[in-house]
Structure 1
Amino acid sequence: MLVLLTGPVTAGVSYHLGWRMQSVGELASGLGLMAGVFISAFAIVFSLRLTLANRPTSNMKLLASKLMDEGALTLLAAGLLAGIDAMWLSGVAATTAKEDQVSVIATAVTVGLSSLVALYFLLSVRRLHVLYTDTFPPYWRARDAVENGAQSKSSAKSKA
C-alpha cells in the first residue's frame, strides 16, 4: 500500500508547495541510464534463474528460485518506471524553453514518478541483498545452522 501511495503523495506535496524545476535535461539522462542498469540487472538475474530447473528439487533451490523471481520482477518494474520517467522528462525538456522554469504540474508529475523510481531502487537493492544472503549464507550463519542441527539431533537421541 505504501508503494502505491508514494507517487501520488509526493506529487501532491510538490503541487501544494508549488515546486518548479529549473531544468530537466540532466535528470532525464540519469533516469535513462538507471533504466538501462535496471534492465541489465534484470537480464542477469533472469539468466541465473534459467540455470535452475523449472521445478527445483531441493528446498534451497526452491528458496533461491523464489527469491530470484521476486528480484527479477522488482528490477523489471524499476526499469519500466525509470524508463517512463526518462521519457516523460524528455518530453518536458522538449516542450519547455531553456529560459523558462518547468510548470508546477509537470514538476509534480516528475516528483511523483521519480519518488517511485527511488523507492523501487531501494526495493531492488533489498531484494538482491536477501537473494544473495539467503542463497549464499555467510560462513557463521551456515556454521550456526549446522551446529544447531547437530545439537537438536543429539538431544533427540538422548531423550529416546
Structure 2
Amino acid sequence: MSRMNVFALVIDQFRFLRHVGTGKPAILVRLFLIAVAPIAGAISLRLGWQLNSVSELSAALGLLAGVFISAFALVFSLRLNLARRPTSNLKQRASRLMDESALTLLTAGLVAGTDAIWVTVVSAANDTDTPVSVWPTAITVALSALVAAYFLLAVRRLHVLYVDTFPPFWKVQALAGGAGTAMDLEEAARRVAIRNRT
C-alpha cells in the first residue's frame, strides 16, 4: 500500500514551498493551497451551480495531467544532468529550484489526473440529458480550482528557475550602464546572479 500513498508526494511538495531568498516556509502559499478547494466548493454549493456537461472537461483535465507529467520528466532530466557536474553555490540553488519545480509539476499532474478520473466517473453516472447535481458539481469545482492553483504555482516556479539561472537582460544592462566604470555584460550578469543568491 505504501506505493499508493500519494499523500507523501503532497507532503514533500509542501515542504519545498519556501521563499527562494530566505529558505523560510512560504506560509501564505501553503494556506492558499489548503483553502482554495474548500472555498471554491463552498461557493459552488452556496450558489447552487450545476454543470450541464463534463465530458469536455474530462478530456481537458486528462490532457493537462499529461502535460504536467511531461514537464516533470523534462525538469527531472535537467536535474540529473546538473547533478553530474561539479557543485557550486549557483548550481546548488538551481538544483533546489529544480527540485521544487519538479515536485510542483508532479503534484499538479496528480491533482489534474484525480480530477479527470472524478469527472469521468460523474460523466458515466449522470444522464447526458440532465445537469449534474449540486454536490458532484461542487466537488468538481473544488478540484478544478486546485488544479488551476497548482498550474499557476508551477508556472511561477519555472519562471523563478529560469530568471535565477539566466539573469534578465534588463537587469544586466542596468547594472552595466549604471556602474561607475565600464563593465562588460558577462561581469554584470555574474553580479546580478550573486545578488539573486543573497
TM-score category of the 2 structures, normalised to the smaller one: 0.7 to 0.9
User: Alignment partner for residue 102 of structure 1, among 118, 128, 132?
Assistant: 132
| Count of residue correspondences | 149
Q: Secondary structure at the match of 1:46?
A: helix
> Is 2:137 aligned against 1:113?
no
- The separation in 2 between residues aligned to 1:100 and 1:27, in whole angstroms, is 16
1:25-58, CA deviations, whole angstroms, 9 ceiling, x for partnerless residues? 0000000000000000000000000012279621
- Greater Rg over alpha carbons, structure: 1
CA shift, 1:137, in A, is 1.3
Alignment match, 1:141: 171
| Pairs within 5 Å for 1:1-160 | 1-53=31-83, 57-142=87-172, 144=175, 146-147=187-188
Matched-pair identity in %: 58
CA shift, 1:17, in A, is 1.0
CA shift, 1:139, in A, is 3.4
Amino acid of the structure 2 residue aligned with 1:48: L
- Is contact 1:22–1:102 with CA below 8 Å preserved after alignment? yes
- Bigger proportion of residues as helix: 1
Task: Name stretches of at least 5 consecutive residues in structure 2 with no aligned partner.
Answer: 1-30, 177-186, 192-198
Q: Secondary structure at the match of 2:83?
A: coil
Alignment match, 1:155: none
* More relative contact order, 1 or 2 (CA 8 Å, 6+ apart): 1
Change (3 A) 1:140 1:5: same
- Is contact 1:56–1:62 with CA below 8 Å preserved after alignment? no
- The separation in 1 between residues aligned to 2:111 and 2:86, in whole angstroms, is 31
Query: TM-score scaled to structure 1, two decimals?
Result: 0.87
- Is contact 1:42–1:76 with CA below 8 Å preserved after alignment? yes
Task: Name stretches of at least 5 consecutive residues in structure 1 with no aligned partner.
Answer: 150-160
1:101-131, CA deviations, whole angstroms, 9 ceiling, x for partnerless residues? 1010000000000000001000010000000
